[in-house]
Structure 1
Amino acid sequence: MARIKPKQLLIQSKTKKSPTRISYSTIVTWNLIVVLVVLSSYATYRHWHYRPILETEMDLPRTEHVGRSDDFTKTSRPSYAVMDTGKGSITIEIYKEASADVVDRFVSLCKRNHFKGMPFRHVIKNFVIQGGDFDFNGAAQEWILKAKASGENALSPKHEAFMIGTTKNPNNKGFDLFITTAPIPDLNDKLIVFGQVINGQDIVQEIEEVDTDEHYQPKTPIGIINITLKQEI
């Protein structure tokens, strides 16, 4: 084999490329990227691992409870109220589309037994039965005169007999109940209707027939024993 001369070796060594060196900035950059990825993964793990514990301790709502609408409130209200009276039971359907303030207040008072032992203060034949917290003497005669004068007016479903409502006066701090015993054309001007008697109309009529004095107050006391709320009947 022919020997390579020293001069040729020198020429070949010059033509060989030296290995590429990685710069210091590149190394630092990649190290930072690795650290950020690790920290991000760890933070994500802690979030999902401890979330159920935090929700329990802080009583936070879970995802499935977020976004409840007013429909939930409507469906959670009782659908019926059973009014036990001295003459028998009257079943009332509570209108879910009625005034929310009135319905919620009525339900709250029923739960607190507010109506327990409450008398029917006024009984006006072919008009209304009234029980509750307010006097009705002067208004009773005014209502009767208006009802007779406008008896030929067109009636809507809310003017029918056996509707249940309360007065519209916003200054009243109590709560009175009215059960109509006949169609009343100007009912919407006086009451906020929030329900209807669906069973026990005969009991309403029996109460309507009690003897009253000149102020439409029953001569023999008769009243509400209690009101029980029900979701189904």
Structure 2
Amino acid sequence: MEIKETERNIIINVAAGGVCTININPVSRPIPPPPALDEAYVPPPANPKVYFYMTVDGKPAGMIVMELFADTTPRTAENFRALCTGEKGMGKLGKPLHYKGSIIHGVDPGYMISGGDIIDGGKGNGGECIYDSRFFEVENFIRKHDGPGVLSMWNRGRNSTGSQFMIHVRANPDLDDECVVFGQVVQGMDVVTSIMDMSTSTSVPVAVISNCGQIS
């Protein structure tokens, strides 16, 4: 048996006087068009970022930038975002719904700093949300207190989320099923730790959110 290759075919001589031709070229098939784009599809917006400008004992201390997890905790993230911008104006108790001018009222070295009491002069006893009632529900516990820079809301129970928040400097899993994680510090953890480092067993520096707002 003799086998010959040509440009397009293989010719196999199977017997004297007999030729069998096999075409091995693939048959060209049209490429299907790509699926039509769904013009109604709108991609989800990026998580917003907000900032605090901090002063400590009257001196500039730097800026803290936080990403808010609107993708998993939309109501909690929106509450915090609006409290940063102050766009909601006056609250139900006659105080501005705004973090500007409020203080960091709690420092727990090696653990967290706490702020957001916009009602009771920064004593850590008051707060108010942007929604219809003074407080709103604990949203969910999807995100965890899994490392430095985690931002979560302080509460006194299932329906007591207001304006008080915590910024953690380490993982705190004991709070995972108690406090809603809704954000993460993306810039300025050195500012957080400097506020913490300046505290002592007898005094806490007067750390003030001198300005705040939304970046994106």
Alignment TM-score > 0.5, same fold: yes
C-alpha deviation, 1:213, in angstroms: 4.3
Of 42, 49, 55, 1:80 maps to: 49
Q: Is residue 2:85 matched to residue 1:111?
A: yes
Please give the per-residue CA displacement for 1:83-113, whole angstroms capped at 9, x wherever unaligned. Answer: 1111210111112323111111112222216
Of 193, 201, 226, 2:181 maps to: 193
Q: Which residue of structure 2 lines up, in the alignment, with residue 165 of structure 1? A: 152
Return the letter of the residue paired with 1:83. Answer: F
Please give the per-residue CA displacement for 1:18-43, whole angstroms capped at 9, x wherever unaligned. Answer: xxxxxxxxxxxxxxxxxxxxxxxxxx
Residues 111 and 228 of structure 1: is their aligned pair in 2 closer, same or farther, counting only changes over 3 Å? closer
Q: Which residue of structure 1 lines up, in the alignment, with residue 74 of structure 2? A: 100
Q: Which residue of structure 1 lines up, in the alignment, with residue 109 of structure 2? A: 125
Percent sequence identity over aligned pairs: 24
Alpha-carbon distance in 2 for matches of 1:187, 1:173: 14
Please give the per-residue CA displacement for 1:55-109, whole angstroms capped at 9, x wherever unaligned. Answer: xxxxxxxxxxxx787x65xx1x762111111121011111232311111111222
Alpha-carbon distance in 2 for matches of 1:101, 1:68: 23
Taking structure 2 as the reference length, what is the TM-score of the superposition? 0.56
Q: Which residue of structure 2 lines up, in the alignment, with residue 20 of structure 1? A: none
Return the letter of the residue paired with 1:230. Answer: I
Of 168, 175, 192, 1:180 maps to: 168
The structure with more radius of gyration: 1
Alpha-carbon distance in 2 for matches of 1:228, 1:172: 24
The question of whether the paired residues in 2 share the 8 Å contact of 1:165 and 1:195 is answered with yes
Q: Which residue of structure 1 lines up, in the alignment, with residue 130 of structure 2? A: none
**SS of 1:186 mapped into structure 2:** helix
The question of whether the paired residues in 1 share the 8 Å contact of 2:144 and 2:181 is answered with no
C-alpha deviation, 1:178, in angstroms: 0.4
**SS of 1:106 mapped into structure 2:** helix
C-alpha deviation, 1:163, in angstroms: 0.6
The question of whether the paired residues in 1 share the 8 Å contact of 2:144 and 2:173 is answered with no
Taking structure 1 as the reference length, what is the TM-score of the superposition? 0.53
Of 195, 212, 215, 1:227 maps to: 212
Q: Which residue of structure 2 lines up, in the alignment, with residue 33 of structure 1? A: none
**SS of 1:223 mapped into structure 2:** strand
Please give the root-mean-square deviation of Cα atoms over the aligned residues, in Å: 2.8
Residues 188 and 173 of structure 1: is their aligned pair in 2 closer, same or farther, counting only changes over 3 Å? closer
The question of whether the paired residues in 1 share the 8 Å contact of 2:149 and 2:184 is answered with yes
**SS of 2:207 mapped into structure 1:** coil
Return the letter of the residue paired with 1:190. Answer: E
Return the letter of the residue paired with 2:214. Answer: L
Alpha-carbon distance in 1 for matches of 2:146, 2:54: 24
Of 185, 190, 205, 1:202 maps to: 190
The question of whether the paired residues in 1 share the 8 Å contact of 2:152 and 2:181 is answered with yes
The question of whether the paired residues in 2 share the 8 Å contact of 1:98 and 1:193 is answered with no
Q: Which residue of structure 1 lines up, in the alignment, with residue 133 of structure 2? A: none
Alpha-carbon distance in 2 for matches of 1:121, 1:68: 45
**SS of 1:93 mapped into structure 2:** strand
Return the letter of the residue paired with 2:166. Answer: F
Residues 105 and 157 of structure 1: is their aligned pair in 2 closer, same or farther, counting only changes over 3 Å? closer
How many residue pairs get matched? Answer: 141
Gaps of 5+ in 1: 1-66, 138-155
